Amino acid sequence: MKRFLSATAFFGGLIILWQLLYDAHIWSPVLVPSPGSVATYLKGATADGTLLGSTVITIKRLLIGYLIGIVGGLPLGLLTARWRILADTVGTLSLGLQTLPSTCWIPLALLWYGQTEAAMLFVVVMGTLWSVGIATDTGVRNIPPIYRRAAMTMGSKNLHLWLKVILPASLPFVVSGMKQGWAFAWRSLMAAEIYVTILTGFGLGQLLHFGREQQAMEQVIGVMIIIVVIGLLADKIFFSPIEKFLYRRWGTSTQ
């Protein structure tokens, strides 16, 4: 309860500061709208279904691309951790591609797939794949050697050793990589939705872009708030509980 009250007081203070800056007329109301105007936009967009529809479309795209990235990233990390030749080649390539900004994939996606859903999914997958692969590789390499030796002494080897010992022991690192991959996937999708305009559905990125074109800053800030809230909810509801459980499970928790 104390933490909740502290967080509430902090964000309430930010809103008050925002209102004071608006009342001071330091910037034009067109550039910095009031909290009330943003709340009015969010209420109206929620009432007419625009916000909910765009959120559903964006989450759907995000989950599909994210899951594809995880399915590809896990075996990629295991392979690069298992064979040195792959670590020196594919692992190095993964590290380089992870540093590539998400927007760099968009021209390639447009040339390959055009203005389609596939172009957006491609960008999201590229934002997730390398993070998960690198985190899995790091997790495997940081497993205490005693785990491997103890398992081999008891007869575990080959696929059984990897699936029953190495992969479970590396899960804290893997989940951290999945969390990082989620953040990269969000950024990638927002960039894709801003630049790729398709008629199959307008997501939050498109709403953000339309707000900029119409100079409707209350819409821009409102959509940004929704994006932040969704990211926080994903962390608090999904990633954080799993991370805490795994760290306690493997005796690495400091709490």
How far is C-alpha 62 from the chain's CA centre?
9
Q: What is the DSSP string of 76-99?
A: HHHHHHH-HHHIIIIIHHHHHHHT
pLDDT of residue 254: 43
Summarize the confidence of residues 122-144 as an average pLDDT. 86
Shortest CA distance to 182 belongs to which of 23, 70, 16? 70
Label residue 197 left, alpha or beta by phi (over 0 means left) and psi (-120 to 50 means alpha). Answer: beta
Summarize the confidence of residues 41-52 as an average pLDDT. 89
Per-residue pLDDT reduced to its tens digit, 170-208: 787 788 888 888 888 888 888 888 887 766 678 888 888
Both tokens of 50, joined, read: 């625009």
Per-residue pLDDT reduced to its tens digit, 209-238: 888 888 889 999 999 999 989 888 888 888
pTM given for the model: 0.81
Shortest CA distance to 105 belongs to which of 87, 129, 86, 89? 129
Contact 180, 69 (CB under 8 A): no
pLDDT at 247 over 90: no
Summarize the confidence of residues 106-128 as an average pLDDT. 88
Helix H or strand E encompassing 167 = helix 167-169
- 64: confidence class by pLDDT, cuts 50, 70, 90: very high
Q: Which domains does the chain have, with CATH numbers?
A: 39-249 (1.10.3720.10)
pLDDT at 157 over 80: no
Tokens 């203070």, residue? Answer: 13
- 68: confidence class by pLDDT, cuts 50, 70, 90: very high
- The Cα-based distances of 16 to 13, 19, 21, 22, 213 in angstroms read 5, 5, 9, 10, 28
Which range is least confidently modeled, 63-72, 96-105, 216-225?
96-105
- The Cα-based distances of 212 to 75, 173, 207, 222 in angstroms read 41, 38, 9, 12
